[in-house]
Chain A
Amino acid sequence: DQQVKQNSPSLSVQEGRISILNCDYTNSMFDYFLWYKKYPAEGPTFLISISSIKDKNEDGRFTVFLNKSAKHLSLHIVPSQPGDSAVYFCAASLGIQGAQKLVFGQGTRLTINP
């Protein structure tokens, strides 16, 4: 039962253009959503998050949009840079009795072409 899905295993974008990474979820109890970036041989690095009570959060070149009715979130990177090439994971947080459990998607490999 994959509660968080990233349907595109890979995405290729030209440098300077917009990269849009998508994520769908099924559990309406998720209360927080996060995006992580992962380079080979390193652990995931937190990028940006959004609370379930908001529909947009922006941090520099990164913007996350949340559409609760569609159970869909997306990460926009503008403009895309070569250093953005990495695997991006969408994660949803489920708070259970004060504890936190992150449910991850399977990742999207983003390649920025010069």
Chain B
Amino acid sequence: KAGVTQTPRYLIKTRGQQVTLSCSPISGHRSVSWYQQTPGQGLQFLFEYFSETQRNKGNFPGRFSGRQFSNSRSEMNVSTLELGDSALYLCASSLASGAGNEQFFGPGTRLTVL
């Protein structure tokens, strides 16, 4: 069974630009969560999507948004990029939403904002 895939793996953007990251969950998984990993803050929850609906959202500004398609693939978008947005963005999928559902992580997209 293929794991969670994320594209692109690496991305370099400049301040003020916008970026879209993509995540394909494990086949059959309907929940997709996004996390931001930075050296200072560790892994921080961005949002979770289940059946094309955002179920949960972390404490990030409105510049961070996402969506999920009917095939459970998900995208996240960051507009008006800032230097502090440089991070590893991780996507995780699980069979269902709710506590106890094991999340499987993709390798991440490394975003560098110059």
Contact = CB atoms under 8 A, between A and B. Distances in A.
A32 B102 CA distance: 11
Interface in A84-114: 89, 91, 93-107
Nearest to A4: B42
Interface string B91-103: 0101001111111
Interface in A49-105: 49, 51, 89, 91, 93-105
Interface in B24-58: 31, 33, 35, 41-45, 48, 50, 55-56, 58
A51, A91, A95, A99: most-surrounded residue (chain B CB, <10 A): A99
Interface stretch (B12-20, B72-80, B104-112): B104-112
Contacts, number: 75
A99 B50 contact: yes
A101 B100 contact: no
Contacts of B87: none
B90 A43 contact: yes
A36 B97 CA distance: 19
A95 B108 contact: no
Given A43-B107, A100-B33, A102-B35, 8 more contacts: A31-B99, A43-B4, A49-B102, A99-B48, A100-B31, A100-B97, A101-B48, A104-B42
Interface of A: 31-32, 34, 36, 41-46, 49, 51, 89, 91, 93-107
Interface of B: 4, 31, 33, 35, 41-45, 48, 50, 55-56, 58, 90, 92, 94, 97-108
30 contacts: A31-B100, A32-B99, A41-B107, A43-B105, A43-B107, A44-B43, A44-B90, A46-B102, A46-B103, A49-B100, A49-B102, A51-B100, A89-B43, A91-B43, A93-B100, A94-B99, A99-B55, A99-B56, A100-B56, A100-B98, A100-B100, A100-B103, A102-B43, A102-B45, A103-B45, A104-B42, A104-B44, A106-B41, A106-B42, A107-B42
